[in-house]
Every structure is written in structure tokens, then in C-alpha cells.
């Protein structure tokens, strides 16, 4: 069987959206190719004196609408087609919510749990030095992603600043508050998932109170979304992490679960309330109102799609649904709110952080959350209207909105030289 290539998903979706809009090929052809792909070898002296070389990447998909923007992930299975796909999704995500960025993405092939903190710091700094020609506040602004956090962003900022000879806060977002990070940034993606889930329920005339939700992932996205959805009165009945999942028909005590996870606990050992232990696959096929895949890409494939019972899928992760699975879900009448809209909260607040850094000012958390909600709901409304106009899925609606903006920028700017 051919290896799954997420970039093929991207290309197929671009072609489908362009066809619905009747766009001439010249308008969108450049969007099928990343502008730059950099692969680097990262030598690191380990604590025992040995030298290991890690492979790293930085891909800039498009700078049509502004500097490239996108996270850096540290994961042992990462490869170039995944990074290309993630960079392209960022391009469309920024366009759909109408913030002045293009898409980029970075990665290092490493499991950070297998190396010491000192080794991680040395690797991060050397990786930053290797991608230095590509990044900068006006060129490409990294952020946290899978297995990276605000500490790692702080190291990247400091390394970049040392090369420049002065502090450059705006080179990364998702930094610690003490060096220019934004209030509300760490919870922004999960908050966005909550806002979009609430909005789609309103649009479909479904009650928010006691709506049953299953969430794959309890990290920066899934965990925050679970807490906020529970506060809205929804019933989170299932959660999962790398070890497996837990299920409770009457709803989990999310405060207890999140405190347990925060202290390093794995869900397959969770005993603070009576739960049923389930697999990640079982979680995805539970009979719930809303399913939120908030882990990695390619979780819902064509074999699983026919077994999904949720009425609504809100994509908290990037690319969790394959193109074939998407078609099956559409045929079944399952509403899928696509990743480029559903998890855009993170990049929106990253944009706020960048603006604050450039202008040397700070916003309070209420202002951050209020402005996030305004931008995200406005984008939802535009996508919903486009979906209705073309009788399409939410995904095609979102891609058509984004493609319109990107192609408009291409027509205005033209092709150099």
C-alpha cells in the first residue's frame, strides 16, 4: 500500500476548491508549490560527549499576503511532506481568518522525551542558527507546535537576538510573558475550538447544554478545549492521550482529569473517578454529538470514516481527516468544521503577540479573548455564507474563501520579474 502523503491531500483540496470557483489555473498554480524548502543537519554534542546529528526542516509555502507564519514541531516520525502540508494549511488558515500572514512550518526529527533538557536546548539553538537565513519578524515567524513550548520559543528568540546583537521579541510567538509573550496565547487554539463548536451548534439549532463531546488529545488544544467546553455546559464524555482513552457516559470531571494530566499522569492509569478505558480508535467512533480530533494528522481515514457516529466533527488538529474520509463523511451528512477555521485561534493570537511586540505595547487578556472571538466568528460567518452559496461542505467553503483572497493577492502582485 502506498505511503500516506498529506501534501497530496492539500493539492486535491486546492484543485477541488478552484474548480468550484471556476478559477483559471494561472491564478492558483503557484499555490501548489512551496516557495522554499530547507533541510538541515543539526549536530549536537550530547551530555556524554557523543555527537548526534538530527534532521530538521523549515518550509515556507507562501508569502503572498505577508510574512510566513507557522509552528515548529519536534517529533520522531516527522518528514518533509508532512511539513509541506502543515505549511500549506497555515497559508489557507491565515487567509480564511483574514490576518496578514502566509504559511510556514518547521520540524526536527527527534523525540524530545529521549534527550535531556540541556541537549534539547543545544539542539534548539543550533537548529535556529541553521534556519536563521529564512526567519525574521518581516520574513518568517515560528511558534510552538507538537512537543514544543514557550521555553523553546524563548531559546529561539534569544539565539536569533544574539546573532542580531539586540533583542528581537517579534521573531517568534508563543514566548513566555516575561520576554514579550501575549496573555491568552497558550489557551488560544483550544479557546478557538470552543468558540467554533458553540457557533456550529447555534447554527444547526442544537442545544449547547449537555451536548455530548469526545476529544482525542488532552494537550494544548484538546485539554484547553475540554475545560472550556465543560464550562459552557457541554458534557465531555471521552478524552484520550498517547496511552489510550477514558469514557464516562454521564460526563467526565474535567477539572480532575486536567489536574491529573498536568501532574504528568497518563489516562490509562486514571482512577480518580469510575471510567471505562477505551482505545483512541474507539473514541473516534463513539455515539456523541461532537467529535474533536485534537492530536495528529491522518487520524480519520477511509476505513474509520464509515464508523463515525458523531453528528459534527470539529478539527482541533491539523489535517486529522484524509480526503477519502472527508468524502465519506460528507456523503453521510456529517458536518465537518475544517482545521483551517476550527483551530485558527492560535495563529490569530500569535498575530496579536507579533503586533504587540512590533508596537512595544501589551494588551490585557480580556482584550485578547474579545478580539479573538470577533475575528473567529466573523470568519465562521463568511465561510458559512460561502458554503450556502455553493451548496458545499464547510471545508470547501473555507478553502474557497481563502483561495479567493490568495488569488486576489496574486493577481494584484503579479509574477516577478
HEC string of 335-356 equals EEECHHHHCCHHHHHHHHHHHH
* Alpha helices in 285-363, H assignment, sequence order: 302-305, 323-332, 339-342, 345-359
- Verify whether residue 248 is a known catalytic residue: no
Give the residue carrying C-alpha cell 483550544.
Answer: 190
**Residue 198: CB atoms within 10 Å:** 19
* Alpha helices in 166-285, H assignment, sequence order: 188-203, 222-231, 254-262, 280-284
**Active-site residue identified among 105, 212, 235, 386:** 105
DSSP string, 4-61: P-HHHHHHHHHHHHHHHHT--HHHHGGGGS-SEEEEEEEEEE-TTS-EEEEEEEEEEE
Q: Which of 130, 111, 402 is nearest to 142 (CA)?
A: 130
Q: Which of 334, 279, 329 is nearest to 306 (CA)?
A: 329
Give catalytic residues, as residue numbers.
105
Amino acid at each position: 500500500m502506498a505511503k500516506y502523503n498529506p501534501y497530496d491531500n492539500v493539492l486535491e483540496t486546492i484543485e477541488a476548491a478552484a474548480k468550484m470557483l471556476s478559477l483559471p489555473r494561472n491564478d492558483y498554480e503557484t499555490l501548489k508549490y512551496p516557495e522554499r524548502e530547507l533541510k538541515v543537519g543539526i549536530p549536537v554534542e550530547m551530555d556524554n560527549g557523543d555527537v548526534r546529528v538530527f534532521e530538521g526542516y523549515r518550509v515556507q509555502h507562501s508569502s503572498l499576503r505577508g510574512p510566513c507564519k507557522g509552528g515548529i514541531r519536534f517529533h520522531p516520525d516527522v518528514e518533509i511532506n508532512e511539513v509541506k502540508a502543515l505549511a500549506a494549511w497555515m497559508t489557507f488558515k491565515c487567509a480564511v481568518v483574514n490576518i496578514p500572514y502566509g504559511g510556514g512550518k518547521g520540524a526536527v526529527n527527534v523525540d524530545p522525551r529521549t534527550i535531556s533538557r540541556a541537549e534539547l536546548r543545544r539542539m534548539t539553538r543550533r537548529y535556529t542558527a541553521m534556519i536563521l537565513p529564512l526567519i525574521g519578524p518581516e520574513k518568517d515567524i515560528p511558534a510552538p507546535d507538537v512537543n514544543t513550548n514557550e521555553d523553546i520559543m524563548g531559546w529561539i528568540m534569544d539565539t536569533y537576538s544574539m546573532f542580531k546583537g539586540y533583542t528581537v521579541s517579534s521573531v517568534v510567538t508563543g514566548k513566555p510573558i516575561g520576554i514579550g509573550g501575549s496573555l491568552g496565547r497558550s489557551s488560544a487554539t483550544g479557546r478557538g475550538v470552543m468558540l467554533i463548536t458553540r457557533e456550529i451548534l447555534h447554527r444547526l439549532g442544537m442545544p449547547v447544554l449537555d451536548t455530548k463531546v469526545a476529544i482525542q488529545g488532552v494537550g494544548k488544544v484538546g485539554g484547553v478545549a475540554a475545560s472550556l467546553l465543560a464550562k459552557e455546559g457541554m458534557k465531555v464524555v471521552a478524552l484520550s492521550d498517547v496511552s489510550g482513552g477514558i469514557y464516562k457516559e454521564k460526563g467526565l470531571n474535567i477539572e480532575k482529569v486536567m489536574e491529573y494530566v498536568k501532574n504528568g499522569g497518563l489516562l490509562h492509569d486514571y482512577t480518580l473517578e469510575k471510567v471505562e478505558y477505551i482505545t483512541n480508535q474507539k473514541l473516534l467512533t463513539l455515539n456523541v454529538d461532537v467529535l474533536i480530533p485534537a492530536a495528529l494528522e491522518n487520524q480519520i481515514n477511509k476505513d474509520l470514516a464509515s464508523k463515525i457516529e458523531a453528528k459534527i466533527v470539529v478539527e482541533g488538529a491539523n489535517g486529522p481527516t484524509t480526503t477519502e474520509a472527508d468524502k465519506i463523511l460528507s456523503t453521510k451528512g456529517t458536518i465537518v468544521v475544517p482545521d483551517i477555521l476550527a483551530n485558527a485561534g492560535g495563529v490569530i493570537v500569535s498575530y496579536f503577540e507579533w503586533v504587540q511586540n512590533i508596537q512595544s505595547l501589551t494588551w490585557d487578556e480580556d482584550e485578547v479573548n474579545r478580539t479573538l472571538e470577533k475575528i473567529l466568528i466573523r470568519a465562521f460567518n463568511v465561510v458559512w455564507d460561502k458554503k450556502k452559496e455553493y451548496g458545499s461542505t464547510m471545508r470547501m467553503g473555507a478553502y474557497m474563501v481563502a483561495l479567493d483572497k490568495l488569488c486576489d493577492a496574486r493577481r494584484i502582485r503579479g509574477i516577478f520579474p
